[in-house]
């Protein structure tokens, strides 16, 4: 069944039996599997290798090819080319939107950047079906970068005795976050278009999600977005196939303490920056909570202080991130300033709270969940959702295969069944959006 619609949606592949299977056309060169894979219903009960199950299936082999291309944030050149070629072959018009290189350690980008002279430009991929207006009304979006390190693709039998191909486990960096969403969104769009060629669908795959969202921010500021006429955005991230009702907000800060060094045998001659900063980091704060998101949580991620065990430390520094359950970043900053001032009022060293390196802050993000047939959950992690400015009334959904609990781990993996189910889930979300349009509700 999948083969039928895949062929129907493809401009390049002639619909004759003689044409090569599209799955092979999409493979990267060094992985071409030569003979045709054995049939599932092999009469001599010959065991079907997991690799062959993948090769036979266009969705699974496309997903594999995405994972095989290393695309750690900053290095998305090869994967965006691959994706652009694939989508062109599927009869899409592809717009490559250049995103400046990642600077040093943060996401601040170089305004004078010239993509013409960059041999490996990073680009967002924006695509819509050939012959359609360039402003789709529903678009699906996910990200093509991954966290480090690269982990090679693999597929294996489950630990259980199951022989069902849906239980095969696909592993590798990006297998869940978010190449599963990318693959499932594309195939959901192709299936939808095969059944309804005039469906007004767009696809957006961005770089840099894992490092603060520079790809989505570039798109958000561009005319592709500001002049966009979409009424629905479907974000793809691992949500265990549930619709996400929202996620917490975020605000970050640094705390510095400046004291005075002295010999540790005569600590009264110095002012300890460590003693000064500790209360600010360990005291429980009056943090806002909400019924939907629970507690605001705080993570002291990095602490640096001192020079030697026999020296009273004159400098201490900590970098802290806060996941907001309620309120705005401004309100949170006011509470943080006041709380630090309260607990450091009588310490000797000078303590300063600094928000200037954490300008990227946002309040809790509420998302739409009005499509029946899904579990609904809130999540704790951040996404590109706040990086995309949308017009009033635009529906935003967040949905995708796989679980966040393995997403950045060395055990990142999902099952074949989860990946396939996500195609169905995305199609359901697309159909609901198109129905609202038909009913004049947008």
Ligand X SMILES: *[C@@H]1O[C@H](CO)[C@@H](O)[C@H](O)[C@H]1NC(C)=O
Dihedral over alpha carbons 14, 18, 21, 26 (to 10 degrees) = -60
182: tokens are 């990318």
Q: What x-and-dash track marks residues 332-361 binding ligand X by CB under 6 A? A: ---x--xx--x-------------------
**Residue closest to 86 by CA, chosen among 231, 156, 190:** 190
Buried b (16+ CB within 10 A) or exposed e, 424-434: ebbbbbbbbbb
Interface of this chain with ligand X, residues 53 to 112, rule: CB under 6 A: 91
Number of residues located near ligand X, criterion CB under 6 A: 11
Is residue 379 within a helix (H) or strand (E), and if so which, with residue range?
Answer: strand 376-379
109: tokens are 């980008």
CA angle 299, 305, 310 (to 5 degrees): 140
**Span from 6-14, 56-64, 267-275, 417-425 in contact with ligand X (CB under 6 A):** 6-14
Question: Closer CB to ligand X, residue 93 or residue 290?
Answer: 93
Among residues 43, 119, 131, 372, the one that binds ligand X under rule CB under 6 A: 131
Cβ-closest residue to ligand X?
A: 131
- Active-site choice (46, 47, 76, 209): 209
Question: Closer CB to ligand X, residue 91 or residue 403?
Answer: 91
**Span from 9-17, 243-251, 317-325, 430-438 in contact with ligand X (CB under 6 A):** 9-17
Interface of this chain with ligand X, residues 223 to 282, rule: CB under 6 A: none
Question: Closer CB to ligand X, residue 8 or residue 376?
Answer: 8
> In the bound complex, what is the minimum distance in angstroms from residue 117's beta carbon to ligand X?
34
Do 395 and 388 meet the contact criterion of CB atoms below 8 Å apart? no
Is residue 440 within a helix (H) or strand (E), and if so which, with residue range?
Answer: none
> In the bound complex, what is the minimum distance in angstroms from residue 129's beta carbon to ligand X?
6
Rounded CA separation 244/240 (Å): 10
Rounded CA separation 108/88 (Å): 31
421: tokens are 């189910």
Q: What x-and-dash track marks residues 271-310 binding ligand X by CB under 6 A? A: ---------------x------------------------
- Check residue 198 for interaction with ligand X (CB under 6 A): no
> In the bound complex, what is the minimum distance in angstroms from residue 127's beta carbon to ligand X?
13
**Residue closest to 86 by CA, chosen among 125, 143, 134, 136:** 125
Is 437 in the active site? no
| Residues near ligand X (CB under 6 A) | 9-11, 91, 130-131, 286, 335, 338-339, 342
Residues involved in catalysis: 209
């Amino acid at each position: 069944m999948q083969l039928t619609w895949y062929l129907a949606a493809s401009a390049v592949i002639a619909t004759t039996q003689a044409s090569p299977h599209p799955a092979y056309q999409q493979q990267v060169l060094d992985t071409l599997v030569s003979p045709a894979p054995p049939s599932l219903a092999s009469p001599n009960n010959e065991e079907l290798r997991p690799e062959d199950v993948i090769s036979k299936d266009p969705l699974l082999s496309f997903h594999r090819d995405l994972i095989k291309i290393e695309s750690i944030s900053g290095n998305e050149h090869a994967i965006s080319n691959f994706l652009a070629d694939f989508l062109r072959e599927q009869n899409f018009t592809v717009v490559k939107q250049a995103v400046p290189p990642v600077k040093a350690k943060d996401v601040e980008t170089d305004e004078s950047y010239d993509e013409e002279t960059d041999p490996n430009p990073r680009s967002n991929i924006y695509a819509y079906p050939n012959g359609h207006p360039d402003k789709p009304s529903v678009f699906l979006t996910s990200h093509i970068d991954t966290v480090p390190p690269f982990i090679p693709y693999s597929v294996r039998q489950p630990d259980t005795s199951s022989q069902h191909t849906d239980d095969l486990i696909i592993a590798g960096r990006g297998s869940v976050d978010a190449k599963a969403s990318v693959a499932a969104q594309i195939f959901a769009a192709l299936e939808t278009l095969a059944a309804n060629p005039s469906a007004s669908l767009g696809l957006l795959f961005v770089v840099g999600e894992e490092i603060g969202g520079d790809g989505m921010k570039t798109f958000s500021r561009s005319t592709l977005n500001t002049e966009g006429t979409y009424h629905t955005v479907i974000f793809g991230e691992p949500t265990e196939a549930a619709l996400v009702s929202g996620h917490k907000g975020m605000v970050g800060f640094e705390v510095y303490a400046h004291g005075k060094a002295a010999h540790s045998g005569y600590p009264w001659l110095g002012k300890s920056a460590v003693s000064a900063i500790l209360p600010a980091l360990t005291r429980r704060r009056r943090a806002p909570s909400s019924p939907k998101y629970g507690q605001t949580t705080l993570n002291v991620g990095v602490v640096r202080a001192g020079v030697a065990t026999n020296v009273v430390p004159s400098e201490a520094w900590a970098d802290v991130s806060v996941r907001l359950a309620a309120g705005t970043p401004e309100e949170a900053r006011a509470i943080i300033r006041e709380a630090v001032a309260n607990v450091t009022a009588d310490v000797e060293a000078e303590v300063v709270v600094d928000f200037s390196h954490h300008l990227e802050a946002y309040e809790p993000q509420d998302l739409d969940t009005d499509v029946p047939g899904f579990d609904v959950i809130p999540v704790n992690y951040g996404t590109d959702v706040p990086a995309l400015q949308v017009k009033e009334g635009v529906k935003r959904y967040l949905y995708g295969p796989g679980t966040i609990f393995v997403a950045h781990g060395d055990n990142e993996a999902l099952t074949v069944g989860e990946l396939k189910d996500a195609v169905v889930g995305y199609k359901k979300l697309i159909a609901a959006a198109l129905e609202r349009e038909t009913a004049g509700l947008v």
